[in-house]
Each structure stands twice: as C-alpha cells, then as structure tokens.
Structure 1
Amino acid sequence: MKRRTSILDRLVALTAGLVLIGAAGLTLTWFVGVESVRAFVRRLDRGTLSEFPDQSWWPTALGVTAVVAFVAGLALLLVNVRRGRPETMPVLPSGPHWADEGSDTSLSVDLGPLAAGLAGELSSLDGVRTVRQSAIDDRGLATLRVTVVADPSIDVASFTRSAESFARAMAAALPGAPVATQVLLHLAPAD
C-alpha cells in the first residue's frame, strides 16, 4: 500500500470516527439530561424539519448525496484494491563517474524477476509446499514479498536463517537501492 493511500484511509476513518463519537456524545448527553443539550434540541423547529421530505429539492438532495457517496466509496475501494507495483529500480546513478567521459549511463532492474528468483530459492528448502512472490510498493518502499506455505513440522529456525541469507544476497545484488525483502511463512494445517 502506498503512503498516500494509507494516509487517505486514515483520514476517512478518523472523520467517520469523529462524526460517530460526536453523535454518540450528543445522544448520551440527551439521555443523561444535560440541560444545555436539551435546550438546544428544544430550539429546533420540529415542524420545519418534518416538512423537509415534502420539499421539491429533497429528492434531488438525496439523489446527489447517494451518487457522491457511491462515487467516493468506489474510488476509495479502487485505490485500496489496486496493487502498488514498483517500476524498475535504479541501481547505478547516472553520471560520468560510472561510465566513460562524456556518456550518461544508468542501470535499472525489474524487481519482478528478483522476487521470482527469491521464491525459487525458498521453494527448494525442505518442507516448503507452495511459494507466491510479488514486487510491491509498500508505503513508498519497493519490496520483494514472498509468501511461503510450509509443512507444520518445518524447522522454523533453520528456515528463518535460510530466508535471511537469501534476503542478504538480494540486498547485495542491488547495491545502494532502497529495496526491502519480506518473507511471510504460513504453516499448513496439521494432518
């Protein structure tokens, strides 16, 4: 998930939470009998409020509110469902110090095959049943994510050492590139 998506989700949750807390607080103070809240409610013209559904603008207002809520909800859903995939990762900065004088050279790699290579290495370990890999953008950091499903009897300590060794090898293959490696181990149900 990208950082902007995470911030947007948190802002939406914060706004909804504050509205619900405010409504709950108003309701609670009404039931407790706080006089200032009851005086505020008494000042409302209930006749005017009860006539709102009979006004000519009411169906339009409801329709616009429903469409805006639907579009906002769909947009939020699509932003969260879309997988953030990093583009190619530059591993050598461009500039003459990396190449002959006068040329401008840079090197970048596609992270998908690196994730597939890491998955291949992990799939060769004893007790590993299935492996899934992906290269994602996790809050602005390119990440090689490998999900491993293994036998419940796997030696977790040995697997962890091997996964850390493979992750260090991936980091060495990308000198200076900000790429994280994430290995998720799931144990299959016992037979």
Structure 2
Amino acid sequence: MRRRTSVVDRLVVLTAGCVLLAGAALALTWALGVTAARNVVHRLDRAAITAVPDQRWWPTVLAVTAVVALLAGSALLLINLRRGRTSTMPVFPGPPENTGADLSVDLGPLAHGLAAELSALDGVRTVRSTALDDRGLATLRVTVVADPSIDVADFTRNAEALARSMAAALPGAPVATQVLLHLDPA
C-alpha cells in the first residue's frame, strides 16, 4: 500500500468515526437526561424534518448523494485494490553529465530468484514471490508455506542470510526483503 493510499484511508475512517462518535454522544447524553442535549433535540422542528421526504427537491438530493457515495466508494476501492508493483530500481547512477549511463534492475526476477533459493530449503512446500512498492519502499516479498515440523530457527537463519545476499546484490539501493512464513496445519 502506498503512503498516499493509507493517508486517504485514515482520513476517511477518521471523518466517519468522528461523525459516528458525535451522534452516539448526542444520543447517549439525551438518553441520560443531560439538559444541554435535551435542549438541542427540542430545538429541532420535528414537523419540518418529517416533511423533508415529501419535498420536490428530495429525490434529486437523494440521487446525487447516492451517485457521489457510489463514486467515492468506487474510488476508494480502486486505490486500495491497485497493486503497488515496482518498476526498475536504479542501482548505479551514471555520472551527472552522461544521462544515458544509468544502471537499473528489474526487481521481479530478483524476487523469483529469492523464492527459488527458499524453495530449496528443507520442509518448504510452496513459495510465492512478488516485488512491490510498500509505502514508498521497494520490497521483495516472498511468502513461504512450510511443513509444521520445520526448524523455524534454522529457516530464519537461512532466510536472513539470503536477504543479506539480496542486499549485497543491490548495494546502496533502498530495497527491503520480506519473508513471510506460513506453517501448514499439523
């Protein structure tokens, strides 16, 4: 997930949470008989509120609200479902005067290579790999499903050694390696 997506998600949740908390606080204080809450509720014109659905403009406002909510919900869904695939990673920038001498690496094959190395370890059943952008940091993510009797400490040492070798293959490049271990049920 990109940083911008997580900020948008958090703002939407914060706004919805504040509105719900304000409504809950008003309902709770009214039910407890707090004078200020009772005064707010008594100031409302109940006849005008119950007459709103009979107004000529009500279907239009309702339709516009539904369309806006549908578009906003679809936009949030799309930005959250969009995969954060990485592009090539610049590893060795060329001299400033020569713009065509940059060296970049495609991270997808590196993730597949790391997965192949991990699949050769004892007890590993399946391996999936991907290169993605996780909040602005290029990440090689490998998900390993292993036998429940695997020596987790030994697997962790091997995975850390392989992660260090990936970091050595990309000197100075801001790339993280993430190995997720899932154990099959016993």
Same fold (TM over 0.5): yes
The match for 2:112 is 116
Matched positions, count: 185
- TM-score of the pair, normalised by structure 2: 0.97
Cα shift at 1:47: 1.1
1:106 aligns with 2:107: no
After TM superposition, give the deviation of residue 27 of structure 1 in Å.
0.2
- For 2:136, which of 134, 137, 140 is the aligned residue? 140
Report the more deviating stretch, 53-62 or 103-112.
103-112
Aligned equivalents of 1:13, 1:40: Cα separation in 2: 26
Please give the per-residue CA displacement for 1:146-179, whole angstroms capped at 9, x wherever unaligned: 0000000001011000000000000000010000
Note the aligned Cα RMSD (angstroms): 1.0
Cα separation, 1, equivalents of 2:84 and 2:94: 26
Kindly provide the amino acid, as one letter, of the partner of residue 68 in structure 1: V
- For the residue of structure 1 that corresponds to 2:85, the secondary structure is coil
Which residue pairs with 1:67 in the alignment?
Answer: 67
The CA distance in 1 between the partners of 2:126 and 2:30, in whole Å, is: 57
Residue 154 in structure 1 maps to residue 142 in structure 2: no
What secondary structure, in the 3-state scheme, does the structure 1 residue paired with 2:122 have?
coil
**Displacement after TM superposition at 1:103 (Å):** 3.8
Shift of 1:94: 2.5
What SS is found at the alignment partner of 1:94? coil
The amino acid across from 1:73 in the alignment is: G
Aligned residue for 1:177, secondary structure, equals: coil
Shift of 1:182: 0.1
Alignment correspondent of 2:35: 35
The AA in structure 1 aligned to 2:28 is: L
1:81 is aligned to 81
1:86 shift after superposition: 1.1
Segments of 5+ residues of structure 2 without an aligned counterpart are none
Q: Which runs of 5+ in 1 are unaligned?
A: 97-101
TM-score by length of 1: 0.94
Letter in 1 for 2:181: L
Counterpart secondary structure, 1:137: strand
Q: Which residue of structure 2 aligns with residue 172 of structure 1?
A: 168
* Structure 1 moving runs of 4+ over 2 Å: none
1:46-72 Cα deviation digits (max 9, x unpaired)? 111111001010000011111111111
Q: Supply the distance in 1 between the matched residues of 2:81 and 2:44 (Cα, whole angstroms).
A: 43
Q: Distance in 2 between matches of 1:166 and 1:47?
A: 71
What CA deviation, in whole Å up to 9, does each residue of 1:60-91 have, x standing for no partner? 00111111111111110111111101110000
Partner SS for 1:142: strand
174, 177, 181: which one pairs with 1:181? 177
